[in-house]
Amino acid sequence: MARLPTPSPAVRWVLTIGVVAVLLIGGFFYYSRLKDEQSSYLASIAQSNQTIETFQAVNLDELEAEIAQLQSKADNADLKYNALKAKYLNYVHSIEIEERMYEAAFEADATITQMTCDGPKNEEVGDLVLSNYVFNITAEAPVPPQLLNFIIKISKSYETGVIEWVDLSVPRPPDEGVSDEPSIVDVQLRVYYLSQEAS
């Protein structure tokens, strides 16, 4: 079997120098890349440190005072909102009841001449807190049956409504002809509903 020729010392030196040169060049480029990455990391670290210092320089006492002030304003706004909501609901209840009273008078061919509303007032009934409105209504009609029909209609308008008293005034019949004086009724109606405090 033929043997490969042995390179001369000069060739071996050239090959060695070439390999060393390639390793040196590769190492130089790798070192340059590492230096660039190191510079990038150092820049990022410096920026992060600057950001941290900026946050550390912020006066937290002022921010906490501002947060407390805003929280106080939010709490006051909630209180005002709840108060206005309760007031609005009270208006809605009373307006709805008054509208129903006028509808009942129209259906009975009677005319409401005066109506006042008192309330709402809270009242404890067992474990419940009920609110109630008191309506004083004055109505008139040409004949008493129309007023009686009106009273029946308002008594059936609300399951939680209670007629507390009725005062019916009927004019005396004239000696001759037809009287133009109307019959008049005064009614007090109390309407209960579940208070907002209990809901």
Structural domains of the chain, with CATH: 84-198 (3.30.70.60)
- Which range has the worst mean pLDDT, 37-41, 93-97, 187-191, 194-198? 194-198
Each residue of 99-129: b (16+ CB within 10 Å) or e? ebbeebbeebebbbeebebeebeeeeeeeee
pLDDT at 198: 44
The answer, yes or no, to whether residue 176 has pLDDT greater than 50, is: yes
Residue entry with tokens 């670290």: 45
Going from the C-alpha of 46 to that of each of 34, 41, 54, 196, the distances in angstroms are: 18, 8, 12, 60
pLDDT band per the 50, 70, 90 thresholds, residue 177: low
Which range has highest mean pLDDT (83-92, 105-114, 117-126)? 105-114
pLDDT band per the 50, 70, 90 thresholds, residue 171: confident
pLDDT at 184: 92
What is the percent of the chain where pLDDT is above 90?
Answer: 21
d(C-alpha 115, C-alpha 100), whole Å = 12
Dihedral of alpha carbons 133, 134, 138, 144, sign: positive
What is the mean pLDDT of the segment spanning 141-150?
A: 92
Contact (CB, 8 A) for 139 and 110: yes
Give me the chain's average pLDDT, please: 81
pLDDT at 89: 59
d(C-alpha 89, C-alpha 83), whole Å = 10
Contact (CB, 8 A) for 190 and 164: yes
What is the mean pLDDT of the segment spanning 23-29?
A: 81
The answer, yes or no, to whether residue 143 has pLDDT greater than 70, is: yes
| DSSP structural state of residue 171 | P
Quote helix, strand, coil % in the chain, to nearest 5.
Answer: 55, 25, 20
Give me the helix-helix angle, 60-107 and 144-157, nearest 10°. 150
